[in-house]
């Protein structure tokens, strides 16, 4: 019988509605999941650990580091790890774990629910059973198990706040699909040897969505206040304003201050080509770094990890080099650098 570590961090799956307001709040974790879902006993031997009990809207980077440290310390004693997590920040956590745990030889599976486990009509039961089953498969990646699929964690994003199929990975096919049988994709990463755990991460980053009328002075004020890295969600394949309200001078200022500016696309499909239009080409000349076809979640968390590990005095060079390589399948390199 496979052995799984299930780590509870909170989220809707274990929430209850307040008796008066009906607002969902984190519940006291008193119920035995195996009592609620006895079928899990047929999947694996499960050890449960309560690490946090948070609405995922309250998850912070230090929670990622603590979670990653526990997984790194315990994973060799198990065939896989399941992390129960809220859906709102799940893609951020999955991406962060991927970069904090680059050496994996077995699955780390995040799951959660759009409706609480103890409601009559819920997606929690299926998601939990699927996640535990996937955690026993030869899929040595951090992934999100939702709606009978496993998505690569650093490629996934939450696209639906209402439907039960909440997550998608527009530019990377699922790693696992569960139907009448189990389909494991050919692009699953091979097992990697675990090294020493590195907890360094720098959360002093800013994400800005480009829009008509964005005042560059606001980004300049962020630079002056001490931001260490910026992700710009640009138009289309990476275009930014270069005439009125031009962002090019502020990108140049950031570059001069050794503050990396990473450009990703606002579009769920497609990637960045900084040499296609005048605005994006000027941004590249000013020092902007292409994020290729990475999700915003992956770009932000990768930037945090690279900033935390950058050698002193070589921040810009180190981060730019890191974004030229796909460390864990988080982007399509030939799309980002044609």
DSSP single-letter state for residue 164 = S
Could you tell me the end-to-end alpha-carbon distance of the chain, in angstroms, rounded to an integer? Answer: 47
Q: Are strands 24-26 and 15-17 parallel, antiparallel or unpaired?
A: antiparallel
Strand partners, 193: none
Q: Establish whether 12 is a catalytic residue.
A: yes
Please pick, among 158, 202, 276, 318, the residue that the annotation labels catalytic. Answer: 158
In a 10 Å sphere around its CB, with 0-12 CB exposed, 13-18 middle and 19+ buried, how is residue 328 labelled?
buried
Q: Write out the H or E segment, with its range, that includes residue 167.
A: strand 167-168
Q: Which of 12, 111, 255, 295 is catalytic?
A: 12
Which residue of the set 78, 79, 87, 235 is catalytic?
Answer: 87
Give the C-alpha separation, 87 to 59, whole Å: 11
Q: Which two tokens stand for residue 288?
A: 């902007």
137 vs 139: CA distance, rounded Å: 6
Q: H helices then E strands: how many in the chain?
A: 10, 16
User: Contact, 27 vs 14, CB < 8 A?
Assistant: yes
- The CA-CA-CA angle for residues 241, 246, 252, to 5°, reads 110
> What kind and span of H or E run contains 67?
helix 61-74
Residue 158 is a catalytic residue: yes
Helical ranges in 83-227 per DSSP H:
90-100, 124-134, 216-225
Instruction: Give me the catalytic one of 88, 123, 273, 293.
Output: 88
Active-site option among 27, 48, 276, 277 = 277
The token pair that represents 236 in the structure block:
């289309």
Whether the CB-CB separation of 132 and 4 falls below 8 Å is answered with: yes
Question: Known catalytic residue: 277?
Answer: yes
- Catalytic residues, by residue number, are 12, 87-88, 158, 277
């Amino acid at each position: 019988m496979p052995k799984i570590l299930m780590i509870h961090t909170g989220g809707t799956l274990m929430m209850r509605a307040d008796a008066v307001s009906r607002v969902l709040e984190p519940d006291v974790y008193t119920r035995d999941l195996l009592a609620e879902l006895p079928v899990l006993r047929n999947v694996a031997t499960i050890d449960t650990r309560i690490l946090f009990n948070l609405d995922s809207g309250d998850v912070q980077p230090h929670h990622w580091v603590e979670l990653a440290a526990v997984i790194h310390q315990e994973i060799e004693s198990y065939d896989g790890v399941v992390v129960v997590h809220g859906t709102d920040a799940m893609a951020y956590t999955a991406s962060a774990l991927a970069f904090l745990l680059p050496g994996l030889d077995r699955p780390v599976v995040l799951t959660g629910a759009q409706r609480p486990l103890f409601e009559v009509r819920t997606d929690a039961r299926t998601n939990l059973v699927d996640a535990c089953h996937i955690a026993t498969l030869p899929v040595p990646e951090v992934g999100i198990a939702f709606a009978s699929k496993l998505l690569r964690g650093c490629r996934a994003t939450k696209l639906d706040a209402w439907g039960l199929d909440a997550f998608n990975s527009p530019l990377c096919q699922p790693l696992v699909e569960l139907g009448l049988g189990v389909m494991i994709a050919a692009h699953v990463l091979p097992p990697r040897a675990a090294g020493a755990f590195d907890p360094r991460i720098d959360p002093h980053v800013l994400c800005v969505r480009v829009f008509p009328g964005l005042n560059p002075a606001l980004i300049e004020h962020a630079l002056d206040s001490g931001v260490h890295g910026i992700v710009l969600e640009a138009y289309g394949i990476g275009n930014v304003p270069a005439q009125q309200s031009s962002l090019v001078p502020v990108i140049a200022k950031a570059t001069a201050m050794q503050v990396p500016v990473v450009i990703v696309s606002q579009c769920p499909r497609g990637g960045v080509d900084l040499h296609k239009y005048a605005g994006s080409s000027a941004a590249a000349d000013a020092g902007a770094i292409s994020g290729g076809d990475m999700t915003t979640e992956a770009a932000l968390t990768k930037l945090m990890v690279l900033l935390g590990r950058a050698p002193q005095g070589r921040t810009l060079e180190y981060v730019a080099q890191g974004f030229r390589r796909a460390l864990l399948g988080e982007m399509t390199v030939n799309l980002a650098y044609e």
